[in-house]
Structure 1
Amino acid sequence: MKNDRLKPNGWLEAVNCAIEGILWTVRSQRHMRFHFFAAVGVILLALQLKISALEFVLLGIAVTMVMLAELLNTALEALVDLVSPDYHPLARRAKDVAAGAVLVASIGAVVIGYLALSRYFLPGLQDGFSGLGPAPGLLPVISVLAVVILVVLLKSCLGRGTPLHGGMPSGHSAVAFSIGTSVVLARVDLIIGLLALAMAAMVSHSRLLLGIHSRQEVLAGAGLGAAVTLALHLLFA
């Protein structure tokens, strides 16, 4: 039967097929090659820093998660191209959703990498992450992630603009003011806090100058970023 030839005979041939699939993905997908180089760099860095076993497990989960998402994305793209060689809106949506899975996995990997490695690079945080206590500086990161999620939800509900261009509210303004608010709430020097807010205002103003957002969208994004970050700090700091 023709279908039988698509099935590997025995576990050794199945392993060979799996390895061939990984190799084909690396050869054909630029993003997969980047992920492999990044994974090698992270592993070498972990060995150089002599990180703990728990931290190494976290990095291993992060690397595996991104690799798995990219493999599934590539497989789905190949299947969509086979089923729908011509352009179709649903085919595009399938590819966009699969790429979104890779993006979510990558963001999760960045957060896990921060948890595992932050104490080695940020002064004064050497004892901040033991695997049991709270991670150092995690609240500003969580604030930015919460703001991004809310921006995506609002844009999807209102149906205006694209993720990085236009729509209510301005995502760039929201993230910029979230970061600026976190800097101010970190009780740093007053001048540094004011400079952080000035930088956030400049980012927001650039969206106006480029004609990407209206004044209302920029103000809504700035207010959302500042309000969410302030609320999270008041509740959990």
Structure 2
Amino acid sequence: MKPTRFIDSVNCAIEGILHATRTQKHMRYHFLAALAVLFTTLLLRVSSMEFMLLALAVSFVLFAELMNTAVEIVVDMISPGYHPLAKLAKDVAAGAVLVAAFGTAIMGYLVLARYVLPWQKAGLEMIGTESETGMVVSVVLVLIVVVIMKARGGTGTPLEGGGVSGHSAVGFCIATSVALHTQDPLIAVFCFILAAMVSHSRLLLRIHRPREVVAGGLVGVAITVAVHLLFRAFG
């Protein structure tokens, strides 16, 4: 029955939010991201207008995810079995969430960039610029270490699967090298986004597990930074 009191309507709304949070892992991810963003704004002491824009953008993503969950529930109720139109309805609803998240990411960058990028640039300058020789040595060492780890792991093949993701390792190695070589915060962000997309493709293809992708990324970053510091110390 439709609630007749305002407090009952509020309780129903809260129950809907709790249900979406319990059943949808992406909703939980969005809430965690929202907490991280809002906590960051407090640390950076952004202006009231900037905080309002970020809060509005975050709310829009959560709203889109709630609507996506509602569409999925209705579609499953009407069409329990597989139907092309049911799949299309769910895909369109998921697309709405993606558009909202993309817009929020742009908003977050525009608001937080002037606070975060100077710190990032200062950190890169403190570490120093990587030489071209160091970049080449880093990639070669990453490849050697990945092959050794795959061989010792005893799973997968040298070119596919195994203990660590070679694509992730090389991707993050190159991203780290470019970040250190250019000393440009924005280029560094784009390079690491590209490396993350390469790593994510290994998950989509079901070639690697999440921990293998993360391990590969850490290997790539760690070896690149270590080689850079050695070249800087003895160069």
TM-score under structure 1 length normalisation: 0.51
- Runs of 5+ unmatched residues, structure 1: 126-182, 204-237
- Once the two structures are TM-superposed, the CA of residue 9 in structure 1 deviates from its matched residue by 2.0
Provide the aligned C-alpha RMSD in A.
3.1
Q: Which 4+ stretches in 1 moved above 3 angstroms?
A: none
Instruction: Give distance in 1, aligned partners of 2:31 and 2:55.
Output: 13
1:176-220, Cα deviation, whole Å (9 max, x unpaired):
xxxxxxx9xxxx79xxx9xx9xxx9xx9xxxxxxxxxxxxxxxxx
1:156-235 equivalent positions in 2, closer than 5 A: none
TM-score under structure 2 length normalisation: 0.51
Q: Equivalent of 1:73, from 68, 73, 76?
A: 68
Matched AA of 1:55: E
Instruction: Give distance in 2, aligned partners of 1:63 and 1:76.
Output: 20
Task: Please state if 1:98 is matched with 2:89.
Answer: no
1:93-125, Cα deviation, whole Å (9 max, x unpaired):
000000000000000000000011000111299
1:33-112 equivalent positions in 2, closer than 5 A: 33-112=28-107
Matched AA of 1:37: L
Q: Equivalent of 2:13, from 10, 18, 43?
A: 18
Secondary structure of 2:118's match?
coil
Instruction: Give distance in 1, aligned partners of 2:119 and 2:101.
Output: 27
What's the % identity of the aligned pairs? 54
Matched AA of 1:23: L
Matched AA of 1:34: Y
Matched AA of 1:9: T
Instruction: Give distance in 2, aligned partners of 1:71 and 1:58.
Output: 20
Say which structure is richer in helix.
2
- Runs of 5+ unmatched residues, structure 2: 121-177, 198-235
1:105-120 equivalent positions in 2, closer than 5 A: 105-120=100-115
